[in-house]
Amino acid sequence: MSRQIAIIGSSGGNLFNLGGRDPRKLLDEILLQMESAGLSCAALQFIAAETSMDSAKPGTPAALYSWKMSQNEPVIIAQGTLEEVNKAALTLDQDIAEQIKLGEIDGIIVMSADPKGSNRQAFEAAALHKIPVTGTGGTSMAMIQSRGVHVISASGTTGTTNRTRAVAFVTSLCKHWRIPYRPVIGGSAAAAAQSGSQVSPWKRINLRGIMMASLPGFIGMALILAASKIPGLSSLSAVFDLMIKALPVILAVIAAKQVSELDEVSIVAGIVAGVLSVEGGIIGGMIGGIGAGILVHYIFRKCVEWRFPATTVNIIAGGVSGLIAGLFVYFLIAPVALAAGEGVRYLIETLVSWSPAIAGLIAGLLIWPAIIGGVYHAAILPIVLLEMERTGNSFLGAVDMVGLVMVSAGITLANMVAPRDKGEAAVAAPGFAINMGFGTFVEAAYPFMFSNKLVFGGAIASAGLGGLLIGLFGVRGTAYVPSFLGPISSNNATGFLFCMAASLLCSFLITFFVNKMSLGRRSKQHNLEA
């Protein structure tokens, strides 16, 4: 039989700014961790005010949450002023006290409770029956302890998050009862168990995912580079230089959060590690972030098992993890990581310098097979980001724009102008708009490419032409930006514009004539049947 838990508290003073303003999210995280440990909610009394309790008045709007057994979820049972809600809470307090006396509650989780007022009877019963209590809220927990309640762990709220508090609560109770428990990172406990989200943080390391999630930072840098070339905005070049230094920090934060998935704690660890990993470039930042994420996971769990206060747990897990990982990169990994990044860039530059046109042609011809085969995001995108780290644009990034984005735009445009049937025009229009307006969603061309081999071949040929021209003009650029910003963010605006136009026009004309031929054959067949 599972242990029955009562959740008692309020949105609090400091807690209000650390999750209390969103009661459902706060409660759902606790319930999620309880479910993972096999604990059940038997009672709930949570007073949620619309402002911090530090500044709340009797007339402040508030709501009272209780536990609905039939729905197995928190529900609002009273709303009104804080004074009215506090009065309604007294009935729940009496009910919870009665459940404790009847032995229906095995443990209590507390957050910013009121042991002198709306929670008095529950804590008197808890003290009498020696119910284990764990919670946060410095003042309230001190008052609860002074009343003889069996507090197994207590902490202030500062520095905690919904997740870290919930994990600390459930870990304390499970350790008290010697129940096995592994924190759930996301989703339901059942789904987490099936999907493996409770697995080792080592198995959550995904280099491709880290790179993809960090892409907006690189694009922001490219946009600053483009803006710095506008007359009167040359001072933005200093901002561009600053953003290049910030890229390792971005990757470190993303890596730390993905690996540990402990929200703000892992973000802080990632920032600390990233700042110390700057000298190692984006590879160093990624290594520092991964290390910080792994350390956060283990240090956090160990500190909770040792019953450190929740605030201290967060400080140690976030600060110390980031420092250890960051210093490791700073003193040992940074030179190697920087050399690795330079080596990749040097290899690309060397290959291109041998024959820019042939290099561009090969890259263009292979880029569609690469993205269709899943190689693009695993291999090409990381190289693009490594190139962009130094100059804000990239050889392969320029091939991406002309070989994928512009070719997709040309195919979709042709199906808008001369569709094989009316339905295709409606499908093509959004894809064309996104390609031109945002520099992404090249998959919009897939339906037309996969349904006709000539269109597919035309896409590859057009991409090859675009890549060839990129090599001839010595263009460096990027995709994932609006088409009109592509040339501005490149090292050769006129050349890049010409390459983009050529790829778009080539794919448009091939698709246009293929569609016309298809319509002609269809019309001829119809006449023969008639």
Separation CA 355–CA 153 (nearest Å): 68
Is residue 394 situated within a structural domain?
A: yes
pLDDT value for 194 = 37
Q: Of the candidates 195, 224, 257, which is a domain's last residue?
A: 195
Q: Please give the residue range of the domain that contains residue 365.
A: 355-529
Separation CA 136–CA 169 (nearest Å): 9
Q: What is the pLDDT of residues 106-146, one digit of tens each?
A: 999 999 999 999 999 999 999 999 999 999 887 888 899 88
CATH code at position 96: 3.40.50.2300
Record the tokens describing residue 137, joined without a space: 């809220």
Q: Domain check: are 170 and 273 in the same one?
A: no
Is residue 347 situated within a structural domain?
A: no
Q: Cα dihedral sign for 253, 254, 255, 257?
A: positive
Residues 6+ apart with CB under 8 A from 246: 217
pLDDT value for 188 = 42
Q: Domain check: are 149 and 249 in the same one?
A: no
Residue of 194, 424, 163 lying closest to 313 (CA atoms): 163
Q: Domain check: are 224 and 205 in the same one?
A: yes
Side by side, which strands form the sheet with 61-68?
A: 73-81, 61-68, 40-49, 4-10, 107-111, 133-136, 151-155
pLDDT value for 526 = 64
Is residue 280 situated within a structural domain?
A: yes
Q: Domain check: are 111 and 256 in the same one?
A: no
Q: Domain check: are 379 and 499 in the same one?
A: yes
Q: Domain check: are 240 and 154 in the same one?
A: no
Q: Of the candidates 164, 195, 226, which is a domain's last residue?
A: 195
Is residue 322 situated within a structural domain?
A: yes
Q: Of the candidates 160, 195, 230, which is a domain's last residue?
A: 195
Mark the ranges of the chain whose per-residue pLDDT is less than 50.
Answer: 187-197
Q: Domain check: are 13 and 161 in the same one?
A: yes
Is residue 349 situated within a structural domain?
A: no
> Is the pTM for the entire model greater than 0.75?
no
**Run of H or E residues at 65:** strand 61-68
Record the tokens describing residue 276, joined without a space: 């110390």
Q: Domain check: are 137 and 226 in the same one?
A: no
Q: Domain check: are 333 and 405 in the same one?
A: no
Is 6:122 a contact under the CB 8 Å cutoff? yes
Backbone angles phi, psi at 222, to 5 degrees: -65, -35
| Count of domains for the chain | 3
3-state SS track over 285-334: HHHHHHHHHHHHHHHHHHHHHCCCCHHHHHHHHHHHHHHHHHHHHHHHHH
pLDDT value for 349 = 82
Contacts of range 297-301, beta carbons closer than 8 Å, 24 or more positions apart? 297/201, 297/259, 297/260, 297/262, 298/201, 300/164, 300/167, 300/260, 300/262, 300/265, 301/171, 301/183
Is residue 348 situated within a structural domain?
A: no
- Other Cβ atoms closer than 10 A to 49: 25
Coil, helix or strand for 62? strand
Separation CA 350–CA 328 (nearest Å): 32
Record the tokens describing residue 120, joined without a space: 């008095």
Is residue 231 situated within a structural domain?
A: yes
Residues 6+ apart with CB under 8 A from 451: none
Q: Domain check: are 102 and 213 in the same one?
A: no
Q: Domain check: are 166 and 277 in the same one?
A: no
Is residue 345 situated within a structural domain?
A: no
Q: Domain check: are 297 and 364 in the same one?
A: no
Q: What is the pLDDT of residues 204-249, one digit of tens each?
A: 888 878 887 888 888 888 788 778 877 888 888 888 888 888 889 9
